[in-house]
């Protein structure tokens, strides 16, 4: 009888222990980007040392994969700032309203990381 109880208790403990381990999908922690849209076009010649000013208007930033495929859009605030959570990986950014579609990047974000990025708006003025 003692051996039966020992085997039964051992089996119950083993069953409980195997039920505790999660062998399902592992959730990858998200990454986050935050950034600013900058106006990269100048009317006339670009002065030496010129730094693009922030584009202080609401615009749409397209987030592209490393294969340059649009996966989602992020709307900026009225100062051109934006942020978004995304899966770890490599991304490019493009401003949807830009007359000349130019991409910034590649930006590689790691799991749990907050990465500062920039997107360029180009109105085509030269």
Q: Where are the domains of the chain?
A: 31-121
Give me the pLDDT at residue 45, please.
Answer: 76
Tens digits of residue pLDDT in 44-93: 777 788 888 999 999 999 999 999 999 999 999 999 999 999 999 999 99
DSSP one-letter code for 15: H
Mean pLDDT for 83-112 is: 95
The pTM of this model reads: 0.74
Q: Flag the least confident range among 16-20, 33-37, 46-50, 98-102.
A: 16-20
Distance CA(115)–CA(110), nearest Å, equals 9
Question: 101: pLDDT confidence band, cut at 50, 70 and 90?
Answer: confident
Question: H or E element: which one contains 18?
Answer: helix 2-20
Q: 110 and 88 in contact (C-beta within 8 Å)?
A: yes
Residue 97's nearest CA partner among 73, 69, 70, 61 is: 61
Task: Tell whether domain 31-121 is in CATH 3.60.9.10.
Answer: no
């Amino acid at each position: 009888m003692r051996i039966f109880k020992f085997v039964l208790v051992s089996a119950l403990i083993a069953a409980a222990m195997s039920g505790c381990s999660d062998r399902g999908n592992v959730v990858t922690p998200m990454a986050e980007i935050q950034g600013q849209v900058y106006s990269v076009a100048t009317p006339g010649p670009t002065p030496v040392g010129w730094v693009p000013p922030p584009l202080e208007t609401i615009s749409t930033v397209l987030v592209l994969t490393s294969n340059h495929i649009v996966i989602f859009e992020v709307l900026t605030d009225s100062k051109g700032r934006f942020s978004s959570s995304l899966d770890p990986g490599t991304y490019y950014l493009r401003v949807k309203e830009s007359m000349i579609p130019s991409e910034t990047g590649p930006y590689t974000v790691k799991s749990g990381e907050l990465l500062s990025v920039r997107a360029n708006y180009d109105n085509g003025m030269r």
